[in-house]
């Protein structure tokens, strides 16, 4: 029986959906190892219920901090583990031992976040680039969510592609009952849900919506997600330019999200860079016709179940969305294909593949 430590500090975040589902389904497989999961204090109860067969301990050390590099390093080292799985690429670079690292994508290396202080973020970005290369080289095995990310990481870090394994993520139906948004009952709307950071490309989506309004004056654009400085900047722009029918929902419940996905005319995913593209797959599972960017990994994950556009071409985006919202047969085809495509992915299979990587890593000599 090997002693394994899993870094789950991302639990409860959008990126942390991966580690939460991995641990839930890995626990159901009853692995014959002594597994300790490290979480932040506010996720302790959640993780203890999710993984009753594992030991769960708290850690106070935040990502991208000196505390991570020193305090977290000491904490992880104290376990004297046979293997450590870091759920993201930020980790103590001084840690020596068998390591499996999940690299979700290299988006942070390519895009800046205007919601952050430019100097501080710029410094962190430079450090991040160094950490990614260092981590890639010292890890015994690397997990990525798509072939696109695998190839991207190999090209960026110059590591042997044989140490990288693709473990596709998945999605599950929303369990909560659909909860209507009264202001949208009986209305024609397209939607996006998620973060508003620059690589999500919402500025161009709003530009495309302005074009769509000329032929579809009653159409609404719903942008769902907790309002932060980036969302506020988009809202200010919409108000400043007098763009009508753009709705910022702020935070929504799972029930409201289910209703939006089940009732939208199309779900739009304009992103410039993704590691997997889970929101579009979630939309497919709920039956929404998906009109998507053709960038990075998205065609790999969505296959022929999405209607694609060039995310840098506002006119192309508007034309493709217009074709879908004005063609009922096309929407029905996309909805049917989307449900089949989403069903191809499995969290349990991802957990099984991850355990297989653990076993192979444990057999490696230090």
Quick check: is 177 in a domain?
no
pLDDT band at 130 (very low <50, low <70, confident <90, very high): confident
Q: Are residues 98 and 208 in the same domain?
A: no
Does 248 score more than 60 pLDDT? yes
Are residues 350 and 335 both part of a single domain? no
Q: For residue 126, how many other CB atoms are within 10 A of its CB?
A: 11
Q: Is residue 176 part of a domain?
A: no
Are residue 153 and residue 201 in the same domain, yes or no? no
Q: Is position 219 within any domain?
A: yes
Measured CA to CA, the distance from residue 138 to residue 153 in angstroms comes to 14
pLDDT tens, position by position, 13-66? 988 999 999 999 999 999 999 999 999 999 999 999 999 999 999 999 998 888
Question: Is it the case that residue 121 has pLDDT exceeding 90?
Answer: no
Whether residue 116 has pLDDT greater than 70: no
Task: Looking at the structure, tell me whether residues 159 and 216 fall in a common domain.
Answer: no
Decide if pLDDT at 167 tops 60: yes
Same domain, 39 and 160: yes
> Token pair of 119, please?
């100097």
In a domain, 330, yes or no: yes
Q: Residues 6 or more apart from 246 whose CB is under 8 A from it?
A: 206, 209, 220, 221, 223, 238
Q: Is 203 inside any structural domain?
A: yes
Tell me: do 156 and 249 sit in the same domain: no
> Same domain for 156 and 190?
no
Distance CA 353, CA 37 (A): 19
Whether 268 is in a domain gets the answer yes
Contacts of 308 (CB under 8 A, 6+ apart): 291, 292, 293, 294, 298, 299, 320
- Tell me: do 312 and 261 sit in the same domain: yes
DSSP structure string for 204-253: HHHHHHHHHHHH-TT-EEEEES---HHHHHHHHHHHHHT--SEEEEES--
Asked whether residue 107 is domain-assigned, the answer is yes
Range of the domain at 260: 182-343
Strands 290-293 and 306-309: parallel
Structure confidence by residue, pLDDT tens digits, 222-246: 999 999 999 999 999 999 999 999 9
Strand partners, 165: 143
Judge whether 175 lies within some domain: no
Residue 183, pLDDT above cutoff 90? yes
| 244 and 118 in a common domain | no
Q: Are residues 119 and 199 in the same domain?
A: no
The verdict on 302 and 350 lying in the same domain is no
- Separation of alpha carbons 58 and 230, rounded Å: 31
Whether 139 and 198 map to the same domain: the answer is: no
Q: Which CATH number fits the domain that encloses residue 91? A: 3.40.50.2000
Give me 272's structure tokens. 């410039």
Distance CA 173, CA 261 (A): 11
Length of the chain: 366
Q: Say what the pTM is.
A: 0.93
Name the burial class of residue 264, with classes exposed (0-12), middle (13-18) and buried (19+) by CB atoms within 10 angstroms of its CB. buried
How many domains are there within the chain?
A: 2
């Amino acid at each position: 029986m090997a002693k394994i430590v899993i870094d789950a500090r991302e639990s409860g975040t959008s990126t942390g959906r991966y580690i939460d589902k991995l641990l839930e389904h890995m626990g159901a497989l009853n692995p014959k190892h002594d597994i300790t999961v490290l979480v932040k204090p506010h996720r302790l109860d959640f993780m203890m219920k999710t993984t009753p067969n594992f030991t769960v301990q708290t850690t106070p050390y935040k990502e991208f901090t000196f505390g991570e590099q020193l305090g977290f390093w000491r904490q992880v080292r104290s376990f004297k583990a046979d293997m450590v799985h870091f759920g993201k690429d930020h980790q103590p670079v001084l840690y020596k031992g068998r390591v499996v690292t999940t690299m979700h994508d290299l988006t942070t290396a390519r895009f800046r976040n205007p919601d952050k202080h430019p100097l501080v973020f710029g410094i962190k970005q430079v450090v991040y680039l160094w950490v990614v290369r260092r981590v890639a080289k010292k890890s015994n095995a690397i997990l990525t969510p798509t072939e696109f990310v695998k190839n991207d990481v190999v090209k960026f870090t110059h590591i042997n592609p044989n140490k990288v394994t693709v473990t596709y993520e998945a999605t599950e139906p929303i369990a909560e009952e659909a909860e209507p948004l009264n202001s949208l009952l009986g209305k024609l709307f397209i939607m996006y849900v998620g973060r508003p950071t620059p690589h999500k490309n919402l500025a161009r989506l709003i530009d495309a919506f302005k074009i769509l309004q000329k032929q579809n004056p009653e159409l609404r654009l719903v942008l769902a997600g907790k309002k932060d400085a980036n969302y506020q900047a988009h809202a200010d722009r919409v108000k400043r330019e007098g763009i009508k029918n753009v709705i910022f929902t702020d935070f929504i419940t799972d029930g409201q999200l289910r209703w939006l996905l089940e009732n939208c005319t199309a779900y739009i995913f304009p992103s410039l860079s993704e590691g997997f593209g889970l929101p579009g797959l979630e939309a497919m599972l709920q039956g929404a016709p998906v009109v998507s960017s053709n960038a990075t990994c998205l065609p790999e994950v969505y296959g022929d179940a999405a209607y694609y556009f060039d995310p840098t071409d506002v006119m192309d985006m508007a034309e493709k969305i217009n074709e879908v919202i004005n063609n009922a047969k096309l929407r029905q085809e996309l909805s049917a294909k989307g449900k089949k495509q989403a069903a191809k992915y499995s969290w349990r299979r991802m957990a099984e593949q991850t355990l297989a990587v653990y076993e192979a890593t444990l057999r490696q000599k230090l």
